[in-house]
Structure 1
Amino acid sequence: MTPLGRTAAHSAMRGIGVLALFFQLFLTLVWFFTGDDEPAARAGRPPLPTTVEITYIVTGAAGTGDVRYTTQGGTLGRDDAPLPFKATARIERGTSITLYAQNPGESKGRQITCTILADGAVVKQSSDSGDSATATCESTVGEDPPLPGLKAPDTTPRAQPGLAEGESRLTKVVKVKDYPGKGSPVVGRVTDDDARISYAEFGGDWGKSRAVDPHISGNDQEQRFDTEPKWQAAIVSGVVDSDLMDHYTGRDRHRALATAVMDEAQKYDYDSGAGRDVASQPITVGGRKGWVVVREIRFVKPGIRAKVDLGATVIVDTGRVRPAFITIEIPDTHKRLWPDINALIGSVRTTS
């Protein structure tokens, strides 16, 4: 090639190089300002997927919570969802989503947490504590970076879904143990005419049994004594509240109702605490079927020495529409009187 031809060729090559440089700069600017991945793909980079796998997670110590979450198909969720709750959906980039979680009204100060994962990474998380507390997580799909140091919450289902942390309920028959000691002397019998049952009245530390207004307390009879200035032992009886009768269905209705009555007593007598069933067994009283549940309730209250109450609920089908119940609670400061639980259970009789 002549010197003139070589010069022309070199000039042409330099021109092509300049054009390639400008084209690459153009692709970079287009991607930067528009987010368009097609130029990136043409430049050798794979395009981003148009959707992201979103995981919605709600965890909480109360055991249940109301959950709502938005997807491209609308708002989904459920009330009283067993926790941990988990749902997954593929959502288009740029979509605004929300995860909302609310504690039960009686959550005893426990925490509830919402978490949103994008392709497995935590991008949003929020917590709150208390009765009816709410946690809300909001995100724009594909735009929120992973939160440093946060791992996805454990979503392993609990052995007994719907129960708060530290709670357990027996699902098999476990007989009531014989608590050691003499317990209180029996000085008479209490007759609950409305419930159509009678049972032992104790002396010693116990005050005299008395009739009370069931419209105020939910009980017909009460026997109590102060175990310390701000705490009591108690025996109460009456007719099962109508609000609990939804539990009285099916072959296992006696166990279910006894557990529900014990749960109700725990809810109203303890601001915080965790109940663990230690006995659950059928009984027969005057030819009528019944059930006994015994529970250890652990709690912490300022200024209260007691840390555990041993409680028992007896329900008896007396033939009326609603069964009778008896509940006894004695704190660990007076565990010498825990044999009163055995004596009370053994003393129950039906009346005409």
Structure 2
Amino acid sequence: MRVVYRMIAVATGVVVLGAGVTVVLLNRGDSATTTAAPRNSADVAVPSVVSASSASGAAAPAAGAVATPGLSPLSSAPPSPPPSTGTSATPSAAAVASPAADADAVDPALAAALKDPRVPALPKDVRRLRSLPGRAAATHSLIKDRRSGVALPRFAKAWALAKPAPFASRQLLPMAKGASYRGMLVSCPVPIPEQKTLRDTAFLAARWTLNHHPSGATITWTASQPIKAGKRKGWLLGYTVHYSLKGRKRVSAAALALVDTPETKPAVVFVTIPDSQKKRWHDINKVMSSIKAL
């Protein structure tokens, strides 16, 4: 019986021991499963995070590429400044105040003349000097005005040489009976600021000639045309000067030629003849057709 009991006890121990081993093995398997699950979970999560990061990184540079040309869509480095194209707002604003822009501004003297009610704007089209009434006086020779760089007719009888100052040359008609104003033919270097074109300079010079007409005189244009004085270019203006003397309205026929001389300021040849001496008006045509550059 003792043997039987011992065998039963051994068997029971074996069973208990096997159960313990089984529990241990089962516990190990559960532990391995538990450990593996987080690893597998991490393995799944890491690619998803990387994908999200990649997607985010691609989206941000793409937006930056619009605002900053040349930025690589996948670059994590700070964007380099875009190359200068020369079309920014700053240079264009600076160009407005640049010397080149200022150079295109209207000269103050010309701007003042354009606002002068005594002198209307020149006609836009070319108008030729018409033939004025009368018969041209005889000429003796040419007056060579070397100070101004031009030659002009020297009339023989009707006109008399006079002291040139403040001009370079001067000829005068005799004073008509009862008149306080007479014909005058003068030449000189242009006494006003030279403009960008001969036409504009002639316009200013014609306004200046009002200083040699009765007070309150105004101008209407009769001619505006380019001319040649020998080989030199020039511009001719014909005009009627309106004024009042002793309460009576009077006019003078006048013309001015501006000649582009080679080494000096442009030369002005100016002639004006009042209506009291209108038989000499055709002398204006003679003068304007005879001017030569020296």
Report the 3-state secondary structure (helix = DSSP H, G, I; strand = E; otherwise coil) of the residue aligned with 2:182. strand
Q: CA deviation at 1:274?
A: 1.6
Q: CA deviation at 1:264?
A: 0.2
Quick check: 165-174 or 276-285, which moved more? 165-174
Superposed, which structure 2 residues align to 1:332-351 within 5 Å? Answer: 332-351=275-294
Q: Deviations over 1:233-260 (max 9, x none)?
A: 000101112x422xx21xxx11111111
Query: Does 1:204 pair with 2:160?
Result: no
Which of 214, 223, 235 is the aligned partner of 1:270? 214
Match of 2:239 in 1: 295
Report the 3-state secondary structure (helix = DSSP H, G, I; strand = E; otherwise coil) of the residue aligned with 2:126. coil
Match of 2:127 in 1: 174
Q: Is the contact made by 1:275 and 1:295 (CA closer than 8 Å) also made in structure 2?
A: yes
Q: CA deviation at 1:194?
A: 0.6
Which of 261, 278, 296 is the aligned partner of 2:205? 261
Query: Larger % of helix: which?
Result: 2
Aligned-partner residue type, residue 179 of structure 1: L
Query: Does 1:315 pair with 2:267?
Result: no
Q: Deviations over 1:241-284 (max 9, x none)?
A: 2x422xx21xxx11111111111011342311220011000001
Query: Does 1:195 pair with 2:148?
Result: yes
Superposed, which structure 2 residues align to 1:49-198 within 5 Å? Answer: 162-164=115-117, 167=120, 169-198=122-151
Q: CA deviation at 1:328?
A: 0.1
Report the 3-state secondary structure (helix = DSSP H, G, I; strand = E; otherwise coil) of the residue aligned with 1:174. coil
Report the 3-state secondary structure (helix = DSSP H, G, I; strand = E; otherwise coil) of the residue aligned with 1:314. strand
Q: Is the contact made by 1:220 and 1:236 (CA closer than 8 Å) also made in structure 2?
A: yes
Report the CA distance shift for 1:257/1:230 in structure 2 as closer, same or farther (over 3 A): same
- TM-score after normalising by structure 2: 0.57
Aligned-partner residue type, residue 269 of structure 2: I
Q: CA deviation at 1:166?
A: 8.1
Rounded Cα–Cα distance in structure 1 between residues aligned with 2:261 and 2:119: 34
Aligned-partner residue type, residue 157 of structure 2: G
Rounded Cα–Cα distance in structure 1 between residues aligned with 2:189 and 2:274: 25
Match of 2:188 in 1: 238
Report the CA distance shift for 1:319/1:274 in structure 2 as closer, same or farther (over 3 A): same
Aligned-partner residue type, residue 222 of structure 1: R
- TM-score after normalising by structure 1: 0.48
Question: Is there any run of 5+ residues in structure 2 with no aligned partner, and where?
Answer: 1-107
Report the CA distance shift for 1:199/1:188 in structure 2 as closer, same or farther (over 3 A): same
Rounded Cα–Cα distance in structure 2 between residues aligned with 1:342 and 1:173: 17
Question: Is there any run of 5+ residues in structure 1 with no aligned partner, and where?
Answer: 1-78, 83-103, 105-159
Q: Is the contact made by 1:169 and 1:276 (CA closer than 8 Å) also made in structure 2?
A: no
Rounded Cα–Cα distance in structure 1 between residues aligned with 2:147 and 2:119: 36
Match of 2:268 in 1: 325
Match of 1:19 in 2: none
Q: CA deviation at 1:302?
A: 1.8
Report the CA distance shift for 1:327/1:166 in structure 2 as closer, same or farther (over 3 A): closer
Report the 3-state secondary structure (helix = DSSP H, G, I; strand = E; otherwise coil) of the residue aligned with 2:183. strand
Query: Does 1:227 pair with 2:171?
Result: no
